[in-house]
Amino acid sequence: MTATLVPMANAGPDYGVGVYRDITEWAAGTPGWLQTFGELFTEGGILLFVGVMVVQWWRARKGDDRAMAYALLAPLAVAVVYALSEAIKVWLHEERPCRDIPGVRAIAECPATGDYSFPSNHSVIAASAVGTFLISWRLIGVLLLPVAVLAALSRVYVGVHYLHDVAAGVMLGLLLAPLVLLALRAPGTHLVAALRRKPSLALVLGTSPVLVPPATQHAPYSVTRN
């Protein structure tokens, strides 16, 4: 795959341009198969996190009310942080580097005009998902953290974001998504407990595990002498 030379008249912001040029020039010289993989991974990598959330929900059907609350609230937390990142994009209006920097060599097609650069939504989604996993499914969160970082960096590799765009997206996701999850944990758990009493929702929510009380310890019989 050959990188596309995109001539532009603007010079981009004063910060981040040098690093962006270094990364994209290096990326343009990488093998074609790696460029193709980068394009596929930068878009399709998000599906991995969606798939893990589906698995988390499926497992939570046999778990307690809090586990199911976590599984249902995780996508909501990601959506909240994503909406915030979109608001920041509209407010700041930072142009994409692939459009703003002259002579940039971008692997991926530059997003349409009006699709702003800061912060990176892909990075926000990946980091937000991992942030919720670090609270609700810690092992998976730790394992997927480097995948989220790679997904974020791939946005710079293919030429559609500055490095500070993806760094900001990762920080937003890792910091805010867990806070949203924890803030909604208590009401979410109570709501799940109430909804699990409805048989019609058993397929979706599962049922609360039956708590077996500890075995009653009988006092030893006393011996009465006549």
pLDDT tens-place string over residues 152-210: 999 999 989 999 999 999 999 999 999 999 999 999 999 999 888 888 887 888 777 66
pLDDT band per the 50, 70, 90 thresholds, residue 220 = low
How far is CA 85 from each of CA 80, 90, 117, 142, rounded to the nearest angstrom?
9, 9, 10, 24
pTM for this predicted structure: 0.81
Number of domains in the chain: 1
pLDDT band per the 50, 70, 90 thresholds, residue 211 = low
Write down the pLDDT at residue 121.
93
- Does 15 reside within a domain? no
| CA pair distance 162, 153, nearest whole angstrom | 9
Write down the pLDDT at residue 152.
93
Sole residue written with tokens 């670090």 = 134
Q: What is the CA radius of gyration of the chain?
A: 24
- Does 46 reside within a domain? yes
- Does 100 reside within a domain? yes
| CA pair distance 149, 138, nearest whole angstrom | 17
- Does 29 reside within a domain? yes
pLDDT in tens, 37-62: 998 998 888 999 999 999 999 999 88
Expressed as residue numbers, the domain containing 108 is: 22-200
pLDDT in tens, 56-107: 999 998 889 999 999 999 999 999 999 999 999 989 888 888 888 888 888 8
Q: How many CB atoms lie within 10 A of CB 131?
A: 28
Amino acid of residue 45: G
- Backbone phi, psi, residue 86, to 5°: -65, -40
Write down the pLDDT at residue 8.
40
Secondary structure (H, E, C), 131-155? HHHHHHCHHHHHHHHHHHHHHHHHH
22-56: buried (b, 16+ CB within 10 Å) or exposed (e) per residue? ebbeebbeeeeeebeebbebbeebbebbeebbeeb
- Does 223 reside within a domain? no
| Two tokens, residue 224 | 């009465």
Write down the pLDDT at residue 226.
46
Instruction: Give pairs for 73-76: CB < 8 Å, separation 24+.
Output: 73/132, 73/180, 73/181, 73/184, 73/185, 73/188, 74/129, 74/132, 74/133, 74/136, 74/181, 76/180, 76/184
pLDDT in tens, 119-145: 999 999 999 999 999 999 999 999 999
- Does 171 reside within a domain? yes
DSSP 63: S
Looking at residue 95, which CATH number applies to its domain? Answer: 1.10.606.20
- Does 1 reside within a domain? no
- Mean pLDDT for the chain? 85
Write down the pLDDT at residue 56.
95
Is the confidence at residue 6, as pLDDT, over 70? no
- Does 17 reside within a domain? no
